[in-house]
Amino acid sequence: MNKLEQYLAEQSSIIESALDHLLPKESEYPREIHQAMRYSCLGGGKRLRAVLAMESCQSVGGAGCDALDYACAIEMIHAYSLIHDDLPCMDDDDFRRGKPTNHKVFGEAIAVLAGDALLTYAMQVLAELDLDATLLILLFREVTTAIGSQGLIGGQVADLLSEGKSIQSDNMEYIHENKTGKLFLASIRGGGLIGGATDAQLAAITRYGQNFGLAFQITDDILDIVGDSKKLGKAVGSDLKLAKSTYPGLYGLEESSRMANDCVMQCHQALTSLPGQSCVLRELAQFVLDRDY
């Protein structure tokens, strides 16, 4: 484990513990829904989005921990989107992060409701953040726009409708920008807002976020072809089997890899203007490219 991985593991443990503290206890009535919410939100995942929010806050001179609860809300939203995405009527996945998907354990009805409840609870956590009310409203706008029918959900819809069809590159870019990219962007921009970013700093953060999301997605597509299923925790080649279009599918492996590299360079350039600590953001961009899971 290198230094960054060790740092990520430490951060991930802080985030896990904050999520554990924030989420309703399993003993709360009705137990089934709280068990299901905790099952999918705790005990796994790279917590990339949460780390990005906290590091972004630091990169403009804030304290990372000021963005911790915001980061947790983002992780809850991420967990909700995965639960619904895995449903039989959607991607019909049996495994996620190396364990059975929510509906496999709790049944479809509870899985639908657990996703709903995590989304709702994320909003409740946002509404309780100890921040200036005007800033809080900005965060609400940032998040709800990112995850709505013209954001994350729009990306899921476009992805769903493109299954089994060969799609154009602009459609694939729409899918990735929205399904994956917008939540990354909300993490990073939200962290920046909490840290007190100026307009120019927010623009730099946005540029970092857009390129980070793209690098992440391209690398995901590449790993799905060349990766190791055990490390990924899901069946390798599943996207190909469904004949979904991917970057390697459209551009080939070599060109995709070049594109991802270019994104990371853009990330690094964007960070140069920021006044705070941004070394982790810098290494994270590279990490996303180099990871083998």
Interaction residues for a copy of itself, span 130-189 (CB under 8 A): 133-134, 136-137, 140-141, 144-145, 147-150, 153-154, 156-158, 160-161, 174
Which residue's CB is nearer to a copy of itself, number 123 or number 243?
123
243 is a site residue for a copy of itself (CB under 8 A): no
Give the distance, in angstroms, between the CA of residue 229 and the centroid of all CA atoms in the same chain: 20
Provide, rounded to whole angstroms, the least separation between the CB of residue 77 and a copy of itself: 9
**Near a copy of itself by CB under 8 A: residue from 4, 14, 87, 253:** 87
121 is a site residue for a copy of itself (CB under 8 A): yes
- Helix (H/G/I), strand (E/B), else coil: 293: coil
Q: What are phi and psi of 95, to 5 degrees?
A: -130, 150
Residue 52 contacts residue 211 (beta carbons within 8 Å): no
Provide, rounded to whole angstroms, the least separation between the CB of residue 105 and a copy of itself: 14
The CA distance from 186 to 244, in Å, is 26
The CA distance from 135 to 83, in Å, is 30
Give me the amino acid identity at 135. Answer: L
Q: What are phi and psi of 67, to 5 degrees?
A: -100, 10
> Residue 204 contacts by C-beta under 8 Å, 6 or more apart in sequence?
270, 271, 273, 274
Q: Which window, 24-32, 64-72, 191-199, 247-255, contacts a copy of itself (CB under 8 A)?
A: 24-32
Binding residues for a copy of itself, rule CB under 8 A, total 49
Segment (H or E) for 99? strand 99-100
Which residue's CB is nearer to a copy of itself, number 124 or number 238?
124
Give the distance, in angstroms, between the CA of residue 162 and the centroid of all CA atoms in the same chain: 22
Nearest to 64 by CA among 192, 168, 151: 192
**Near a copy of itself by CB under 8 A: residue from 12, 14, 20, 24:** 24
Which residue's CB is nearer to a copy of itself, number 134 or number 272?
134
Residue with tokens 């639960």, as numbered in its chain: 83
Binding mask 55-84 for a copy of itself (x = CB under 8 A): -----------------------------x
108 is a site residue for a copy of itself (CB under 8 A): yes
Which residue's CB is nearer to a copy of itself, number 5 or number 28?
28
292 is a site residue for a copy of itself (CB under 8 A): no
Which residue's CB is nearer to a copy of itself, number 95 or number 140?
140
| Radius of gyration of the chain measured on its C-alpha atoms | 18
**Near a copy of itself by CB under 8 A: residue from 22, 41, 50, 117:** 117
The pair of structure tokens assigned to 80 is 């909700």
**Near a copy of itself by CB under 8 A: residue from 1, 3, 27, 30:** 30
Residue 139 contacts residue 190 (beta carbons within 8 Å): yes
Nearest to 47 by CA among 20, 25, 29, 26: 20
Which residue's CB is nearer to a copy of itself, number 157 or number 240?
157
The pair of structure tokens assigned to 42 is 């705790």
Query: By the criterion CB under 8 A, which residues form the site for a copy of itself?
Result: 24, 28-30, 32-34, 37, 84, 87, 89-90, 107-110, 112-113, 115-117, 119-121, 123-124, 126-128, 133-134, 136-137, 140-141, 144-145, 147-150, 153-154, 156-158, 160-161, 174
